[in-house]
Amino acid sequence: MPAPGQALQSRARAIPHLRWWIGGLLFASTVINYIDRQTLALLAPFLTQDYHWSHTDYANLLISFRIAYALGQTACGRFIDRVGTRRGLSISVLWYSFVSIATSLATGFRSFAAFRFLLGAGESANWPGATKAVSEWFPRHERALASALFDSGSSIGGAIAPFIILPIYFRWGWRPAFVIPGLLGFLWLFVWRRIYYLPREHPRITDAERTTILAETESLGSVADRRVSWGALLKLPQTWGAIVSKALTDPVWFFITDWFPLYLVAKGISLKSGLIAVWVPFIAADLGNFFGGWASGFLIKRGWSLGAARKALVVFGGFGVTLLIPTIFTMNLVAITALFGLATFCYAAFSTIANVLPSDLFTGGSVASVSGFSGTGAGIGTIIAFELIGYFSDATQALPGHSFDKIIVVAGLVPFVGMLLVLLLVRNTRATKQGLARPI
């Protein structure tokens, strides 16, 4: 078993708390992932003019990304389980960085659509890959916090993207604005190749950290050599628990981020006075992410079982998101914003658990596969939700101030249903005894 770094072991200096450096690297990968995908959105006002795209054209570009991204998660998850985290994430980052750079060669709608599709396919590896990395490096009580950390890279990436992309655009034009973010991926790759090894074979890990991690992660081989088929995984209630936890929460997040301003407008609140309010859900979500990660870790430290500590946060989230519902009775901006903020905070705590469930429930060879399923489920759920929202809000346009009422009630209840299903599905079964799933 010649571990890649073993020969170096005596020479290389050990890095204390190595797992948090790896957590930071996963965070950075998410940031870069988001910068790459935001480039198009930020340049859209200019590109739609240059290329005479209609809104439908632009929407189709977004959809080509979404479809590849939704389906890609299942494919990439499987791929990463096959080849291991180190190689799997290397290939996917290489892939989407190349695609981002190559987008600078686009000549019109079709080539943009093709590059967008390829970008979505490559970027979809990030969540399954990072989830698997967390399962390999973090003991139970820190796993949710580590997931929250890399997950928060999406909001940070989205927030800093304009400051990187727009100056490049104004100085050098749109083509370099795709090239330079793509180069960030290569920088990341250089560090990743040097830092990411499994704990048991890492040349720079301290003995104490290795013992702590290996004692708690219970031997996750990184590569699926006893392969569990997709069919076998989809027969397990645990798999569906992981899928619904994400598929029934993600759409609510996109509803909040994409429709909240319109909801305020529908209530007769002008966006000028509500500008700060639009930020509140984003801040609340970040806090909720970390709260969910920290709180479930705290409960485990207090002696709660893994399952109980996770489900406590799921219940917190399931009930919390129902706070959206009372907003239909008020026109008060502060009240609406406060309720949205609280609901989003609770949603985010739930969503952190949804992200970490695959690594809690599955052994090494299946973590990324199941995380991929849940990503695909979330993608499909979001597409369905958007169609329904569009339909219902148009249908009830006639009721001033209340056109969103039904949607809000549904949005408030969907994670609650998700909670009930998680409580029902996430449990120890015969598959746990057979070693297909891990005990929770």
Partner 1 sequence: MQIKILDDKKALGQAAAEHAAKSLRAALRENGAARIVAATGASQFEFLDSLTSAADIDWSRVELFHLDEYVGLPATHPASFRKYILERIILRTGIGLKTGITQYHLLDGEGDPQEIAKRVGSELISRPIDIAFVGIGENGHLAFNDPPADFASEEPYLVVQLDEACRRQQVNEGWFSQLADVPMRAISMSIRQILRAKEIIAVVPEARKALAVQACLEEEIGPMAPASALRNHKNTALYLDRDSAALLKASKRSVSQGSVAR
Q: Under the rule (CB under 8 A), what is the footprint of partner 1? A: 1, 81, 200, 208, 210-212, 214-216, 218-221, 223-228, 300, 303-305, 363-366, 428, 432-436, 438-439
Cα separation of 311 and 420, whole Å?
10
Q: Cβ–Cβ contacts within 10 Å for residue 137, how many?
A: 27
Q: Which of 292/364 has CB closer to partner 1?
A: 364
Minimum distance from CB of 140 to partner 1 (Å)? 9
Q: Which of 110/430 has CB closer to partner 1?
A: 430
Nearest to 73 by CA among 126, 118, 31: 126
Q: Which of 211/273 has CB closer to partner 1?
A: 211
Q: What is the dihedral of CA 125, 133, 245, 157, to 10 degrees?
A: -60
Cα separation of 336 and 325, whole Å?
10
Q: Which of 223/380 has CB closer to partner 1?
A: 223
How distant is the alpha carbon of residue 325 from its chain centre? 25
Minimum distance from CB of 137 to partner 1 (Å)? 15
Minimum distance from CB of 204 to partner 1 (Å)? 16
Cα separation of 383 and 79, whole Å?
25
Q: Which of 81/123 has CB closer to partner 1?
A: 81
Cα separation of 120 and 68, whole Å?
5
Q: Which of 266/440 has CB closer to partner 1?
A: 440
Nearest to 347 by CA among 388, 311, 313: 313
Which one-letter DSSP state was computed for residue 267?
Answer: T
- List, in order, residues 6 or more apart from 170 with CB less than 8 Å away: none
Minimum distance from CB of 136 to partner 1 (Å)? 12
Q: Which of 322/432 has CB closer to partner 1?
A: 432
Minimum distance from CB of 427 to partner 1 (Å)? 13
What does residue 362 show for φ and ψ, rounded to 5 degrees?
A: -125, 155
Q: Which of 120/199 has CB closer to partner 1?
A: 199
The length of the chain is 440
Contact 189, 183 (CB under 8 A): no
Cα separation of 199 and 18, whole Å?
9
Minimum distance from CB of 218 to partner 1 (Å)? 5
**22 residue type, one letter:** I
Minimum distance from CB of 187 to partner 1 (Å)? 31
Minimum distance from CB of 366 to partner 1 (Å)? 6
Q: Which of 74/363 has CB closer to partner 1?
A: 363
Q: Which of 149/213 has CB closer to partner 1?
A: 213
What does residue 319 show for φ and ψ, rounded to 5 degrees?
A: -75, -40
Measure Cα distances from 117 to 59, 63, 152 in Å: 13, 9, 24
Measure Cα distances from 402 to 200, 268, 328, 329, 394 in Å: 58, 10, 7, 9, 11
Minimum distance from CB of 132 to partner 1 (Å)? 11
- Consecutive H or E run containing 174: helix 174-195
Minimum distance from CB of 364 to partner 1 (Å)? 5
Contact 416, 260 (CB under 8 A): no
